[in-house]
Chain A
């Protein structure tokens, strides 16, 4: 140490003080409340730590603060670890912090409640801002860790329920330092990418520290500002995050989120099958009604309409039935089981099948002869077999 007669420059003295302080407080843990927290654009953090009677300035450089899983807030009680140092230009001492943790889980809980209250007051959770989730999405954006179980769950549910969909994943850190920024960035990217119908923000369950990124204000605002509707699928049912409140829809797990985002292929197939059976019944009824119309028409002698007009009508019906049977036949190649019943009942009307079984149609003067009494033995007759026509004398 310098003796009384020695004269030091300010710098020299400061240097000595610095040395003394840094050696004495090389590694200290301090508990205190944050005030004046500022995250500089450079990435460094500046704030004060205080208790009822004292204040100490703190710095936390980017290289260290990037490992902090939460964003410090004024009023939060934290425990810091670092060394004491001196900033010569100001002649002040300050804590150079290496690590931070909340003084207790209560601190996080309090920060959570505070942010929730604030965003709620701003209207970020209002029903009126909730966007509807589309029923048939083409592209589903996914914000989660690519290696996590959540992503595997999302993919397997999508595969099972609606493989027509395209999943667009923007991998994000969902826990630990920088997670909030990473999630925000992924949400932004998916909003810029074209054609995303809905976004799922997902991660598996965990402790309040694990889930903390989803309780950060920047994440809440990114979700709120997203033009694409967002479903949150976080954790295992119990805990709500701020992200859950602000999302357009909250699902209790990643799997459920994907279930909400996709229609079920089984429902669609059922719908189509129901269409086929219902419409087949309807078309049968319509055809039968028409056949009856024609039958009663032909029996009513009072009309005395020329035979060829009646034939035209009959032919029209026959052709229609033929076309129906054709489409049914084509269709049944793939799904014959489903429409066996229909085909069977419509078979009765199929002239071709009747011919195939050995029945013969008799024509005279280009008109079908359906009664023996109408057959003129003097005239030529055409016999229509299944495989062709012959003319007799």
Chain B
């Protein structure tokens, strides 16, 4: 469950990065806001790159039996 959450967050993190990037390009952004956004962005970048670096492909096999789902292997 925890892993699933991390992964679905990944997409959100990238979207947030894009948002931050856009805000920092605006002329009227406040210094305090800009700095905290930048900090947030750096933190997100770091965690995203870490997630990518540590990712390991997971393969799950389900048995093909009519009307039955059984997980036979997970690594």
Binding site for B on A (CB under 8 A): 135-136, 138, 146, 155, 158-159, 162-172, 182, 185-186, 189-190, 192-193, 195, 265, 268-269, 271-272, 275-276, 278-280, 282-283, 286-287, 290, 317, 320, 323-324, 327-328, 330-331, 334-335
| Docked CA distance A361–B28 (Å) | 33
Instruction: Determine which of B35, B64, B69 lies in contact with A192 in the assembled complex, contact meaning CB atoms within 8 Å.
Output: B69
Contact (Cβ within 8 A) A324 B14 = no
**Out of A138, A172, A272, which one reaches B7, CB within 8 Å?**
A138
A159/B69 in contact, CB under 8 A:
no
- The interface residues of chain B lying within 8 Å CB-to-CB of A190 are 62
Q: Apart from A163-B57, A171-B64, A272-B49, list 8 A-B contacts with CB within 8 A.
A: A164-B51, A166-B58, A171-B61, A271-B14, A282-B25, A286-B24, A330-B46, A334-B49
Is there contact, CB below 8 Å, between A275 and B51? no
Residues of A within 8 A of B43 (CB): 327
Instruction: Across the interface, name the chain B residue whose C-beta is closest to A280.
Output: B38
How many Å from the CB of A210 to the closest CB on chain B? 20
Nearest chain A CB to B50 CB, angstrom units: 8
Contact across chains for A169 and B60 when beta carbons are under 8 A apart: yes
Interface size class of B (residues with CB under 8 A): 35 or more
Contact yes or no, B49 A269, CB < 8 A: yes
Q: Mark B8-26, 1 if CB is under 8 A from A, else 0.
A: 1011001001101100110
- In the complex, what residues of B have CB within 8 A of residue A328's CB? 42
Q: A327-B38, A331-B42 are in contact. Are A167 and B58 (CB under 8 A)?
A: yes
Nearest-CB distance from B9 to chain A (Å)? 11
Partner of A323, one of B29, B35, B59: B35
Task: Report the nearest A residue to B32, measured CB to CB.
Answer: A320
CA distance A265 to B51 in the complex (A): 11
Which A residues are CB-close (under 8 A) to B66? 185
- Decide if B49 touches A168 in the complex (CB within 8 Å): no
B residues within 8 A CB of A159? 57
A contact residues around B61 at 8 Å (CB): 146, 168-171
List of B residues within 8 angstroms of A166 by Cβ: 57-60
| A interface majority secondary structure | helix
| Residue contact B45 to A275, C-beta cutoff 8 Å | yes
CB distance B45 to A283 under 8 Å? no
Distance between Cα atoms of A276 and B17 in the complex (Å): 10
Q: A159-B57, A167-B58 are in contact. Are A172 and B52 (CB under 8 A)?
A: no
Q: Is the CB–CB distance between A136 and B42 below 8 Å?
A: no
B46 interface neighbour in A182, A278, A282, A331, Cβ under 8 Å: A331
Taking the closest CB of chain A, its distance from the CB of B18, in whole angstroms, is: 8
In contact, A182 and B57 (Cβ under 8 angstroms): no
Q: How far, in whole Å, are A186 and B63 apart by their CA atoms in the complex?
A: 9
In the bound assembly, the distance between CA atoms of A328 and B25 in angstroms comes to 19
Q: Which residues of A contact B24 (CB under 8 A)?
A: 278-279, 282-283, 286
Chain B residues positioned under 8 Å from A330 (CB to CB): 42, 46
The CA-CA distance from A280 to B20 in the complex, in Å, is: 12
Contact assessment for A324 and B64 in the assembled complex, using a CB-CB cutoff below 8 Å: no
Nearest first, the 10 A-B pairs at minimum CB distance are: A163-B55, A282-B24, A136-B11, A166-B58, A164-B55, A283-B38, A170-B62, A163-B57, A286-B34, A159-B57
Measured CB to CB, the nearest residue on chain B to A291 is B31
> A158 contacts which chain B residues (CB < 8 A)?
57
Cα separation A283 to B20 with both chains bound (whole Å)? 11
> Once bound together, how far apart are the Cα atoms of A136 and B13, in whole Å?
12
Q: Which residue of B lies closest to A159 (CB)?
A: B57
23 contacts between A and B (CB under 8 A): A136-B14, A164-B10, A164-B52, A166-B59, A166-B60, A168-B62, A171-B61, A185-B64, A189-B62, A189-B69, A190-B62, A268-B48, A272-B49, A275-B20, A278-B24, A279-B38, A286-B29, A287-B35, A323-B35, A323-B39, A324-B35, A330-B42, A331-B42
Nearest-Cβ distance from residue A195 to partner chain B, whole angstroms = 7
- Please, which residues of chain A bring their CB within 8 A of the CB of B10? 136, 164
Contact across chains for B46 and A334 when beta carbons are under 8 A apart? yes
Q: Which residues of B contact A136 (CB under 8 A)?
A: 10-11, 14
Whether A167 touches B57, Cβ cut-off 8 Å, given contacts A279-B20, A334-B49, is: yes
Give min CB distance, B60 to chain A, whole Å.
5
Measured between beta carbons, the chain B residues less than 8 angstroms from A146 are 61
Q: Which residue of A lies closest to B8 (CB)?
A: A138
B13 smallest CB distance to A (angstroms) = 10
